[in-house]
Chains A and B, each alone.
Chain A
């Protein structure tokens, strides 16, 4: 039953370009990109109990590497993509060594600090990053001779990559390793006594999460064909974190729902509600008051209760 629903959902996503205009297709593409990014953050926040306020470091790093190598070094798209993924993953391993010296608020701050250092570099290291002007002029590569310039073709590619990302991140969360990870979140001390190397589990998760953030970064930069230091700002990190928490941290659907909500409010509802920032704030407060674990767990509970009432 659940599988049928999932397939229907994916089929529904796949036909969006056939039934709507470019604007909505682009909106859907952005939701998918934000969802991949939120899912990667969710591995840390939801499953690992490690609240990061600097996850854009990896999205931004991979986007900048791709834009820089493509436009300034002129390397082929596949090489640029490969370099972005490899370098970002290596950097996440290095940053993980530093960040995982702390947990809790310390971890939050150190991830914030790392992303702020990268943000500062993006502004200041203008010979590479163009500083405040950002890097423009990136073109989308073609795939097996198919151009990705149209909104719908890029959407479909994004959809396929997002589905892959979702499957691989879901498998990670539900694997034996994922169980261990959740154990370290809930009872780190006991996990050590049970023979788990808690630090190593967290570090591997940090790297895996960094890799998927890099994938989101590539989608982001090819979608926008432009990268600017604001992609590395605290606000961007906070938005992703809020998406994860609002949707439901530690659930597979939560980050997707949260990302959709945030992208929708920011880019669409803002056309009708002048004070959309305030609306966003009120929605967050309401979510916390009504569904303290986030939307997905909250709705699940509601459905269970309604079913219970019927029987």
Chain B
């Protein structure tokens, strides 16, 4: 009983964390058709900015650090989009090279600035205690991560479905040429969406900090997860990223517990099955 309850909550918490990681990736890919391989590094950069800030300035709360991390990485994303990626439309191989190249730079810069040791990001003290759920202890902060992910999903949903910006994004996702033709400022839209995606990754890195900490290699650990979620859920689909995150959370948590020998491959097998039989992902319309 305890196993199922606690692991169930673990699945949700990991799912929430993955959504914070993958939603920005999905957003960027959906509109720009750009596989942003810098995404893991942006997540790590956010975590380090947050950790550095909380460590060097007294009294900075996690929430302030998350906003700072988000803004910092969004700014970085703006520079990357404005000065490099914009020159590479219709050059997917060039995009691969440049996004991986920038990821190398970020990883090495973080090592240079913050050193090789892991830096903890403390949860707010009122969330640092475990909470009792049906008699079982569970970390309060992990439950909050689920709530944050739900709030982020709701916020993104409202933005995409109810706002003018969202309408333009949807138009661009559906048919870029048509969007251009009806006068949507596509290049400005790209900048905004890339910044937004980067910002979510940065803030996500800080918010995941109390669970993961900031450490060298966080980028490489996270990038495949973002890709798996997005591929499984369907590229460019917010709903897909959301459901994909939680499915991966469940598969990983229960898979490693019940089939420990498959721990290494548990994340990749379902993906192979999904792509092989449903190349567009569970919720995608376009083929991957």
- In the complex, A touching B, CB below 8 Å? yes
Write the residues of chain A forming the contact surface with B, with a CB cutoff of 8 angstroms.
45, 51, 98, 101-110, 112-114, 116-117, 119-121, 123-124, 234-235, 238, 241-242, 245-246, 249, 275, 277-278, 280-285, 287-289, 292-293
If A102-B275, A288-B94 are given as contacts, then 19 extra A-B residue pairs at C-beta distance below 8 Å, sorted by A number, are: A98-B275, A101-B279, A102-B287, A105-B29, A106-B287, A109-B231, A119-B264, A120-B265, A120-B268, A238-B100, A242-B100, A245-B97, A275-B112, A281-B104, A282-B105, A284-B101, A285-B98, A288-B98, A293-B94
Q: How many Å from the CB of A68 to the closest CB on chain B?
A: 18
Q: How many Å lie between the Cα of A283 and that of B104 in the bound state? A: 11
Interface membership of B271, Cβ < 8 A:
yes
Q: How many Å from the CB of B259 to the closest CB on chain A?
A: 12
Q: Across the interface, do B276 and A289 meet the contact criterion of CB distance under 8 Å?
A: no
The residues in B between 250 and 288 inclusive whose CB is less than 8 angstroms from any CB of A are 261, 263-265, 267-269, 271-272, 275-277, 279, 287-288
Beyond A51-B92, A51-B96, A106-B275, is A124–B101 a contact (Cβ under 8 Å)? no
Q: Across the interface, do A241 and B96 meet the contact criterion of CB distance under 8 Å?
A: yes
Q: How many Å from the CB of A102 to the closest CB on chain B?
A: 5
Interface membership of B224, Cβ < 8 A:
yes
Q: Across the interface, do A284 and B100 meet the contact criterion of CB distance under 8 Å?
A: yes
Interface membership of B2, Cβ < 8 A:
no
Q: How many Å lie between the Cα of A163 and that of B112 in the bound state? A: 41
A-B contact list, 20 entries, CB within 8 Å: A98-B275, A101-B275, A102-B275, A102-B276, A102-B279, A105-B29, A110-B275, A113-B269, A117-B264, A124-B264, A242-B101, A245-B97, A249-B93, A281-B101, A282-B101, A284-B97, A285-B101, A288-B97, A288-B98, A288-B101
Q: How many Å from the CB of A261 to the closest CB on chain B?
A: 12
Beyond A51-B92, A235-B220, A249-B93, is A277–B108 a contact (Cβ under 8 Å)? yes
Which residues does chain B contribute within 8 Å of A281, judged by CB atoms?
A: 101-105, 108
Which residues does chain A contribute within 8 Å of B271, judged by CB atoms?
A: 109-110, 113
Beyond A285-B102, A288-B88, is A245–B93 a contact (Cβ under 8 Å)? yes
Main secondary structure of the interface of A (DSSP, over half): helix
Q: Interface size (B, Cβ < 8 Å)?
A: 43
Q: How many Å from the CB of B230 to the closest CB on chain A?
A: 9
Q: Across the interface, do A124 and B261 meet the contact criterion of CB distance under 8 Å?
A: yes
Beyond A102-B288, A106-B279, is A289–B84 a contact (Cβ under 8 Å)? yes
Q: How many Å from the CB of B121 to the closest CB on chain A?
A: 24
Q: How many Å from the CB of A75 to the closest CB on chain B?
A: 28
Q: Across the interface, do B96 and A234 meet the contact criterion of CB distance under 8 Å?
A: no
Q: Across the interface, do B104 and A110 meet the contact criterion of CB distance under 8 Å?
A: no
**Residue from the list B84, B277, B287 in contact with A285, Cβ < 8 A:** B84
Which residues does chain B contribute within 8 Å of A102, judged by CB atoms?
A: 275-276, 279, 287-288
Which residues does chain A contribute within 8 Å of B203, judged by CB atoms?
A: none
Q: How many Å lie between the Cα of A123 and that of B264 in the bound state? A: 8
Q: How many Å from the CB of B286 to the closest CB on chain A?
A: 10
Which residues does chain A contribute within 8 Å of B94, judged by CB atoms?
A: 245, 288, 292-293
Q: How many Å lie between the Cα of A241 and that of B101 in the bound state? A: 12
Q: Across the interface, do A245 and B108 meet the contact criterion of CB distance under 8 Å?
A: no
Q: How many Å lie between the Cα of A176 and that of B92 in the bound state? A: 26
Chain B 234-261: CB-based contact to A (< 8 A → 1; otherwise 0): 0100000000000000000000000001
Which residues does chain A contribute within 8 Å of B129, judged by CB atoms?
A: none
Q: Across the interface, do A277 and B275 meet the contact criterion of CB distance under 8 Å?
A: no
Which residues does chain A contribute within 8 Å of B98, judged by CB atoms?
A: 284-285, 288
Beyond A101-B275, A102-B288, is A116–B96 a contact (Cβ under 8 Å)? no
Q: How many Å lie between the Cα of A275 and that of B112 in the bound state? A: 8
- Nearest chain B residue, comparing its CB with the CB of A97: B276
Which residues does chain B contribute within 8 Å of A242, judged by CB atoms?
A: 96-97, 100-101
